[in-house]
Amino acid sequence: WAGVVAINAFSRFVLDEEGRGCVRPAELRALRRALARDPAGCVAAFRARHDGGACGAPNVAALAEGLDFLETVDVCPADGPALVLAAEDDPLVPLDASRNLAQSGGELWLSATGGHGLPWTAPAFCAETIKDFLRRHGW
């Protein structure tokens, strides 16, 4: 990749022994159980808690696969330019997790509000910041 843009992102999802991450392992297990028991209710509750709007019927297999990925993901920053967009009031991704992702040469841009759904709640902030990032890097 020439570079990367990460929105409401983190380098590690599940908290490790050093305290890096966003959620406790027990929270991820509870989310898996809720998804298996009531997929539509689980997704609706998650989106309501984390600033998302309504969505269609959930793809349970894809969501379960995504949760498996989130359990083990621990990414390193990209070799190229990186832009990390975050909201100070994100209820899922702590600001420290976004800062950690941006630390190795990335740029962190913060919106005071917008929660965990920045592309929907602050589309102008996202679009303008991304356009500026692309321009500065000649894309």
The predicted structure's pLDDT at residue 51: 63
pLDDT at position 16 over 90? no
Quick one: average pLDDT of 117-129? 95
Phi, psi of 7 (to 5 degrees): -120, 130
Counting Cβ atoms within 10 Å, is residue 77 exposed (0-12), middle (13-18) or buried (19+)? middle
Exposure string over 96-133, b if 16+ CB within 10 A, otherwise e: ebbebbbeeebebbbbeebbbbbeebbeebbeebbeeb
Quick one: average pLDDT of 87-114? 90
Counting Cβ atoms within 10 Å, is residue 13 exposed (0-12), middle (13-18) or buried (19+)? buried
46-79: per-residue pLDDT in tens?
A: 888 876 666 778 899 999 999 999 998 887 666 7
Query: Measured between alpha carbons, how far is 65 from 32 in angstroms, rounded to an integer?
Result: 10
**What are the beta bridge partners of residue 107?**
83
Q: Are 6 and 83 in contact (CB under 8 A)?
A: yes
pTM assigned to the model: 0.81
pLDDT at position 107 over 80? yes
Could you give the domains of the chain? Answer: 4-12+76-136 (3.40.50.1820), 25-72 (no CATH)
